[in-house]
Structure 1
Amino acid sequence: MIIGTAGHIDHGKTALVGALTGVDTDRLKEEKARGITIDLGFAYLPTPAGTLGFIDVPGHERLVHTMLAGASGIDFALLVVAADDGVMPQTREHFALLDLLGIRQGLVVLTKADLADEGRRAEVEGQIEALLAGTALEGAAVVPVSVVTGEGIEDLRSRLIAAAQGFSARASEGGFRLAVDRSFTLSGAGTVVTGTVLSGRVRVGDTLKVSPSGLSARVRSIHAQNRKAEEARAGDRCALNLAGEGVTHDAITRGDMVLDPALHAPSERIDASLRVLPGEPKPLGAWFPVRLHHASVEVGARLVPLAGDGVAPGGEGPVQLVLERPIAAASGDRYVIRDTSSQRTVGGGRFLDLRAPARKRRTPERLAQLDALMETDPAASVARLLAIDPWHVDLSAFARDHALGEGAAGRLAAELGLVTFSTPGARIGLSPARWELIRAAILAELTRFHDANPDLPGMGAERLRLALAPRLARPVFTEAVKRLAGEGRLALEGAWVRLAGHEVRLTRQDELLWEMIEPRLGGVERFRPPRVRDLAGLTGVAEPEIRRLMKLLGRMGRVDEVAQDHFFRRATVAQMVAMVRQLAEAAPDRQFAAARFRDRIEQDDHSVGRKVAIQILEFFDRHGVTLRRGDLRRINPHRLDLFGAIGEDAVNSGARSSQAETVSPDEGASRQVL
């Protein structure tokens, strides 16, 4: 259990920790010379309930930022009030900070009890009772002590041990995070960082990230609760001896977070809940400047109210915090804001969403999402998010931003019985009921399209997505159509989507004419097929009739009009797309000249010539398969499957392996469904 002091300057916090542990936490020369605490101090007390860690914080009003760097990691508060002075300004502010940080366990220590008679003690206890009224520490015990006479010290120590015995340690299943409050070089060891482990666990040999910088580091050794250890876990005061390229005490500073590499995703725009202290002179309006304190970091920020024109003194509401620079954090973490002059505490709350949008941040849909994110239970939060727009959740991102640890996405999917999709860099989850609605909407829209356009081979994928209501995000839509293809409900052909049973049929007369024409578009002359007028001469059929049929075949996806009246078979176009792709991949700068394409195509047909080669490349330019700059072209990878040149087999195979899967809680949380 980590115990932290709080209270006004010169009320005896450091002396109290010394009396309890035998350790003087004032380690700096300036602290000893001036007799006041300037930086965080640390001490440990071995007990039958385990080693108790103490964080001693400065009480001066100008050092509240330092107090916050230590207070963010404590489990149990010792609010220190001197019997002779009573409740003072920093007593009130420190206590407000404890309340804003969500610290719910603690007691009050009435120090310098030898300087007050019974009447004075009763008077100060009355002040304390009024201060604690209506807070989580209301009714907390008040223990009179004197480090001079020894009064109350043993009683206080016994109370702390009893509290530790009944203390529920922080869960260590999440991803590892340590908030750095000190970084220094230790002779013979190298770089050492200290801090409180906020979540998860770490072992010797683990590779970590320093966030937000992204510096990689390896754990050489660990001290947890002032003892050499192989492992440290959530709630421990911890020292990590780190090694790695660029790892120095100057490269890691107070405010950094050392964490599991999977959690490294700094944020500079955060949606949060906010409670404003009653003492504020006016509501906090748009772009109100503040100093934000989270864990051990302090950063400038602007505050944007998301409901109404502002958050009133004593009121609460959702806000967006736009930071001056990125920080490492987790959804659900507590924070405090102070004014820009650092003279007063303004309020605080909980982070809700680390990926807050810059636009449409005040819409009813967005506010509903934030309301769902207020849930402290991750499964309950995901369940509520799935019931509102956009009807799906990226489970991987949710688990990362909530620091839930490895395998959490799969456990959430199993617990809630979700249908899941795997996309590059994401694991999308949605409810079975929502998946059925999406499936039905896609099939119904394709049915309507085929009824209205029986002579077309399919519907453009993006057109289909935009026609759905509600409109699906592209990753979800892409995976949905792949899955339906895997189920045999629809077919994917390049950029076209069609129902599996849909087939465009030619009339018997057109079939006979196509049987005459098709052989003339293939063979050795497939890269320079005859034009419409040439086909008319070869078949004896009028040009308009040939042109009509070729246009129809173009809509069916059998041929492509590369130039005016110059039609190529789709298979030939796909082969040419593969050629330009190979040329680009072979080029050092991924760009190729028209002459290179002409030379490549002439390997198959020496009579193609520059003119036809240029027409083919211009056709690819128009369709976005190639991107031209001057005399050079490069490939657009997002359009390579437009003519079925690549990806068609991969898409259908991926669809077959991406079968819709609903996970029931009975199947076990350990099952990997994503």
Structure 2
Amino acid sequence: MIVGTAGHIDHGKTTLVRALTGVDTDRLPEEKKRGISIELGYAFLDVPGHPQDERIGFIDVPGHERLVHTMLAGATGIDFALLLVAADDGVMPQTREHLAVLSLLGLARGAVAITKVDRVDAQRVDQVRAEVGALLAGSPLSRAPVIAVSAHSGEGVETLRALLFEAARAVPLRLQDASSFRLAIDRAFTLDGVGTVVTGTVHAGQVAVGDEVVLTPSATQLHARVRSLHAQNRTVTRAHAGQRCAVSLAGIGKDQVARGQWLVALGCASATDRIDASLTLWHDEAKALRSGTPVHAHIGSVDVLGTVAVLQVQGDESDGAASSIAPGSSALVQLVLRQPIGAWHGDRVVLRDNSASRTLAGGRVLDPFAPVRYRRTPQRLAELHAWSQPDAGSRLAALIGAAPSGVSLRRWALAEGMPANELPALPYGTLHVVDAAQGDWALGEAFAHAAQEAVLAALATFHAREPNALGPDAGRLRRLAAPRLAEPLWRALLSSLRAEGKVVLRGTFVHLPEHGLRLSATDERLAQKVKPLMSTTGFEGCWVRDLAADTRESETLMRTTLARLAQQGELHQVIKDLYYSQDCVVRMAEILRSVAAGTPGEVTAARFRDATGLGRKRAIQVLEYFDRVGLLRRVGDVHRLRSDTQLFLGQVAA
């Protein structure tokens, strides 16, 4: 169990921790000189009789107003709050702010220690006890026990220690946490013979000596190996969520690490500068929190500047157009940050004002990868309500049921901090697409059915409007029927319609089964002339002007006929006026697949050029055509073969 001490400066936090544990958490010379905590301090206490030899970890946080950001770095990830109020001073400004921070972090387990009772009489203790009761009223800690203690005389120390032991025994073990490992870094230093060491609270998952980990966010993902571990101030081979942990790293220098970064498992690293969250404005705030307000956002151990955009106030289901949050009210918001940070669903967030002098609000991250556009639409708000469900399985099912454009399961798993191969079961009837390039996608049964109907309706409209055209190509049909549907889902949807006989694909063109394009007598005559010529040209293709000259036909008439043959899927127009026969395109696709098999799945213009004997310019034109029709996908300077496409695999069925 992690206990976080909180309270006004000089109210005895460090002294009480020393009385409980025997450890002085003020470790810096400046702290010794000034008699106050400046940085986070740590101490540990064994829990007697615990079956797992559990230890209580104490995080001693600074109480000075200008050091509240340091307090926040230590407060995220604690299990139990210990709020201190000195009997001689009573409730002070930082007492109130620390209570606000603890409450906004969602802490409902804790206790209050009235310290320095040896300096006052019993009447004063009762008076402070009443102040504390009034302070806690309306907060999550309203039922917290209040214990009078004196670190110097020992009064109440054993009672408090027994209460902490009882609380530690009640904390469920988190060894079986299904999430990936994440540690919020609050310190980094070097030790002779050990190297770089980072410390922080493990927020999720487990880590073991020898594991590969990643530092995030960073300009380039910095990988390291866990050389050794200390958890709860003991040498261990494995650490888990809920523990204070020191990790010795091989492969990363101290100057590459900073407070606010995360140490995470491979595949879990992410960075975001837009976060959708649920937020509550502290009830003691004097003014509403308006959209556009600049704030300091604290997540994990980071403090980053940003602005708040109010999306929907709780209880206002009208149009999501509210622009402010009243004190004590909750809302869905988007945080737009000035720099990328690491964040996952469920992480606690605390906001302070622009001058970092006052704690404003707190809440929980819903979607760490918030969109720039459509952020207040009814559909987006429905998705955020799905993200608010209490468990991962419910969240995924609700999100699939609220996302008409589909859900990227890779993105969802990353947002949850969950291994991509350990997803909850998908709802019955979900269209599940496995895509090697973009990861798995899911589309709810009702949305899949609606998208199919939209495709058929778009084709019917197209045929009625352009009866002399075979049909739109697949890319144009997607823009007409389902422009926001994810591409892997679109390809799967089209394949299912084709398999069910509801649409016909001729090359790259799509049409309804009952619709056919008939060539005129002139087109048939020209087709008989050009087919023998095109079969002998090879991979260079045929130009309209050359075919017109060879057949002694009008160039305009030739261009019209070749376009109609391309619409039927018998020819392929790679660029304007350059055509290839179906057999030639199939042969080039076979060569392309053999080239991709060696790299694996990647094709460069140079390798395709060498394999076909084409010039570089023509090779690029052919590859770009394959990109357009869906055989390839351009990624940077390479073209990736789509693993799920059957285009040009042998003879394309009509």
- Normalization by structure 2: what TM-score? 0.84
SS in structure 2 of the partner of residue 114 of structure 1: helix
Do 1:379 and 1:416's aligned partners in 2 also have CA atoms closer than 8 Å? no
Do 1:332 and 1:376's aligned partners in 2 also have CA atoms closer than 8 Å? no
How has the CA–CA distance of structure 1 residues 306 and 546 changed in structure 2, closer, same or farther, with 3 Å as cutoff? closer
**Counterparts of 1:245-256 in structure 2 under 5 Å?**
247-256=252-261
Q: Take 2:301 and 2:186, find their aligned partners in 1: how far apart are those partners?
A: 6
How has the CA–CA distance of structure 1 residues 550 and 162 changed in structure 2, closer, same or farther, with 3 Å as cutoff? closer
Letter in 2 for 1:344: R
Shift of 1:475: 3.8
Q: Deviation per CA, 1:464-490: give whole Å up to 9, x if none.
A: 112226852434323322344456654
**Matching residue within 612, 619, 625 for 2:621:** 625
Shift of 1:123: 1.3
Shift of 1:227: 1.3
Letter in 2 for 1:651: T
Residue 341 of structure 1 corresponds to 355
Residue 531 of structure 1 corresponds to 547
How has the CA–CA distance of structure 1 residues 184 and 534 changed in structure 2, closer, same or farther, with 3 Å as cutoff? closer
**Matching residue within 266, 270, 276 for 1:265:** 270
Shift of 1:375: 2.4
**Matching residue within 508, 528, 532 for 1:495:** 508
Q: Take 2:12 and 2:606, find their aligned partners in 1: how far apart are those partners?
A: 73
Bigger Rg over Cα: 1
Residue 226 of structure 1 corresponds to 233
**Counterparts of 1:108-119 in structure 2 under 5 Å?**
108-119=112-123
Q: Take 1:565 and 1:46, find their aligned partners in 2: how far apart are those partners?
A: 81
RMSD: 4.0
Shift of 1:139: 1.8
Q: Take 1:646 and 1:180, find their aligned partners in 2: how far apart are those partners?
A: 38
Do 1:494 and 1:648's aligned partners in 2 also have CA atoms closer than 8 Å? no
Letter in 1 for 2:333: V
Do 1:579 and 1:600's aligned partners in 2 also have CA atoms closer than 8 Å? no
**Counterparts of 1:22-37 in structure 2 under 5 Å?**
22-37=22-37
Query: Does 2:69 match 1:80?
Result: no
Do 1:12 and 1:82's aligned partners in 2 also have CA atoms closer than 8 Å? yes
Q: Deviation per CA, 1:158-209: give whole Å up to 9, x if none.
A: 1111111111234621011000111110111111111100001111111111
How has the CA–CA distance of structure 1 residues 202 and 655 changed in structure 2, closer, same or farther, with 3 Å as cutoff? farther
Do 1:289 and 1:340's aligned partners in 2 also have CA atoms closer than 8 Å? yes
Uncovered stretches (5+) of structure 2, i.e. residues with no partner: 313-321, 633-638
Q: Take 1:58 and 1:460, find their aligned partners in 2: how far apart are those partners?
A: 65
Shift of 1:577: 9.0
- Normalization by structure 1: what TM-score? 0.81
Shift of 1:124: 1.1
How has the CA–CA distance of structure 1 residues 263 and 338 changed in structure 2, closer, same or farther, with 3 Å as cutoff? same
| Greater mean deviation of Cα atoms: 345-354 or 488-497 | 488-497
Q: Take 2:217 and 2:242, find their aligned partners in 1: how far apart are those partners?
A: 22
Q: Deviation per CA, 1:640-663: give whole Å up to 9, x if none.
A: 7699x997996228999xxxxxxx
**Matching residue within 413, 425, 428 for 2:438:** 425
Shift of 1:515: 5.0
How has the CA–CA distance of structure 1 residues 444 and 81 changed in structure 2, closer, same or farther, with 3 Å as cutoff? same
Query: Does 2:482 match 1:482?
Result: no
Shift of 1:130: 1.0
Q: Take 2:605 and 2:483, find their aligned partners in 1: how far apart are those partners?
A: 39
| Greater mean deviation of Cα atoms: 328-337 or 505-514 | 505-514
Do 1:183 and 1:191's aligned partners in 2 also have CA atoms closer than 8 Å? yes
Shift of 1:417: 5.9
* Bigger relative contact order (CA 8 A; separation at least 6): 1
Residue 635 of structure 2 corresponds to none
Do 2:181 and 2:207's aligned partners in 1 also have CA atoms closer than 8 Å? yes
Residue 194 of structure 1 corresponds to 199
**Counterparts of 1:205-224 in structure 2 under 5 Å?**
205-213=210-218, 214-224=221-231
Q: Deviation per CA, 1:257-287: give whole Å up to 9, x if none.
A: 0001312110111122222224434333333
Aligned length: 618
Q: Take 2:486 and 2:431, find their aligned partners in 1: how far apart are those partners?
A: 16
**Counterparts of 1:117-132 in structure 2 under 5 Å?**
117-132=121-136
Q: Take 2:62 and 2:213, find their aligned partners in 1: how far apart are those partners?
A: 31
Q: Take 2:110 and 2:492, find their aligned partners in 1: how far apart are those partners?
A: 51
**Counterparts of 1:96-245 in structure 2 under 5 Å?**
96-170=100-174, 172-213=177-218, 214-244=221-251
Query: Does 2:422 match 1:408?
Result: yes
Shift of 1:345: 1.1
Letter in 1 for 2:14: T
Residue 436 of structure 1 corresponds to 449
SS in structure 2 of the partner of residue 329 of structure 1: coil
Residue 397 of structure 1 corresponds to 411
SS in structure 1 of the partner of residue 360 of structure 2: strand
Q: Take 1:370 and 1:70, find their aligned partners in 2: how far apart are those partners?
A: 29
Query: Does 2:569 match 1:557?
Result: yes
SS in structure 1 of the partner of residue 267 of structure 2: helix
Letter in 2 for 1:181: D
Q: Take 1:220 and 1:647, find their aligned partners in 2: how far apart are those partners?
A: 40
Shift of 1:519: 3.1
Residue 661 of structure 1 corresponds to none
Q: Take 1:300 and 1:576, find their aligned partners in 2: how far apart are those partners?
A: 53
Q: Take 2:41 and 2:485, find their aligned partners in 1: how far apart are those partners?
A: 53
Do 1:334 and 1:351's aligned partners in 2 also have CA atoms closer than 8 Å? yes
Q: Take 1:365 and 1:144, find their aligned partners in 2: how far apart are those partners?
A: 53
Shift of 1:339: 1.9
SS in structure 1 of the partner of residue 325 of structure 2: coil
| Greater mean deviation of Cα atoms: 173-182 or 455-464 | 455-464
How has the CA–CA distance of structure 1 residues 242 and 57 changed in structure 2, closer, same or farther, with 3 Å as cutoff? same
| Greater mean deviation of Cα atoms: 8-17 or 316-325 | 316-325
Residue 645 of structure 2 corresponds to 651
Residue 318 of structure 2 corresponds to none
Shift of 1:101: 0.4
Query: Does 2:651 match 1:638?
Result: no
Shift of 1:444: 4.5
**Matching residue within 350, 362, 367 for 1:353:** 367
How has the CA–CA distance of structure 1 residues 563 and 103 changed in structure 2, closer, same or farther, with 3 Å as cutoff? closer
SS in structure 2 of the partner of residue 459 of structure 1: coil
How has the CA–CA distance of structure 1 residues 654 and 165 changed in structure 2, closer, same or farther, with 3 Å as cutoff? farther
Do 1:482 and 1:651's aligned partners in 2 also have CA atoms closer than 8 Å? no
How has the CA–CA distance of structure 1 residues 438 and 364 changed in structure 2, closer, same or farther, with 3 Å as cutoff? closer
Residue 10 of structure 1 corresponds to 10
Letter in 2 for 1:428: W
Uncovered stretches (5+) of structure 1, i.e. residues with no partner: 602-612, 627-633, 657-674
Query: Does 2:461 match 1:461?
Result: no
How has the CA–CA distance of structure 1 residues 513 and 334 changed in structure 2, closer, same or farther, with 3 Å as cutoff? closer
**Matching residue within 302, 308, 314 for 2:307:** 302
Q: Deviation per CA, 1:352-381: give whole Å up to 9, x if none.
A: 222222233233332332232222322323
The percent of aligned pairs where both chains have the same amino acid is: 43
Shift of 1:136: 1.6
Shift of 1:600: 5.0
Residue 338 of structure 2 corresponds to 324
Q: Take 1:89 and 1:197, find their aligned partners in 2: how far apart are those partners?
A: 30
Do 1:286 and 1:303's aligned partners in 2 also have CA atoms closer than 8 Å? yes
| Greater mean deviation of Cα atoms: 134-143 or 70-79 | 134-143
